[in-house]
Amino acid sequence: MDNQQETTSKVSPFEFGWFCGFFDGEGSLGITVRRRKEHKKYYEGFKPHLQVCNTEIELVERCKYFFDALGIPYYVSYYKGKGKRKPHWNIAVAGLRRVMKILPIIKPGLQGNKKEKADLMMEFCNSRLSKWHRSEYSQRERQIVDRMFELNQRGKRSDPQRLYAKPLEIE
């Protein structure tokens, strides 16, 4: 991986601090459960991501500038408002390698809950990147996914075990 000082020198210390603070307040870290049908079975997969959702396009543009300056691939989505929801933009970095490119850079600027999530996500990504991509998930990797699920829940907590049941046979 690149030297962190070389990577962050592409953005000013002010921009770096702004992004870390903005992400700490407005961003989220999570692991998405993916199920896909292959060879008459459903395979589970977990995909780490970090994202920022905002109604102000100028803030999303500043995030894009930050990611572009650091060479981080990202996705931008626009969602129309519906009912009481306002229209908003979502900028996301998803996938093991992409997340591992940005996470070590911004992790020192995170506080509290997000710092714990960043530590867990880095452990998960490092574990998965050290294996063959189709290998089974270890007990520790499943514990990390469960803990991330708990940290991201508000209100009534549902059982995270229901998210990844054994593969189903399709007839």
Distance between CA atoms of residues 138 and 125, nearest Å: 12
Distance between CA atoms of residues 121 and 126, nearest Å: 8
Reply yes or no on whether the pLDDT at 82 is more than 80.
yes
Instruction: Tell me the pTM.
Output: 0.78
pLDDT band at 109 (very low <50, low <70, confident <90, very high): confident
The more confident residue out of 113 and 93 is 93
pLDDT band at 166 (very low <50, low <70, confident <90, very high): very low
List the beta bridge partners of residue 115: none
Percent of the chain past pLDDT 90, that is, above it, reads 51
Residue 104 burial class via C-beta count within 10 angstroms: exposed 0-12, middle 13-18, buried 19 and up? middle
Domains delineated in the chain:
4-153 (3.10.28.10)
**Mapping DSSP to helix (H, G, I), strand (E, B) and coil, where does residue 29 land?**
strand
- Tell me which amino acid residue 104 is: P
Reply yes or no on whether the pLDDT at 168 is more than 70.
no
CA distances from 13 to 16, 25, 119 (A): 5, 18, 23
The pLDDT of 159-168, averaged and rounded, is 49
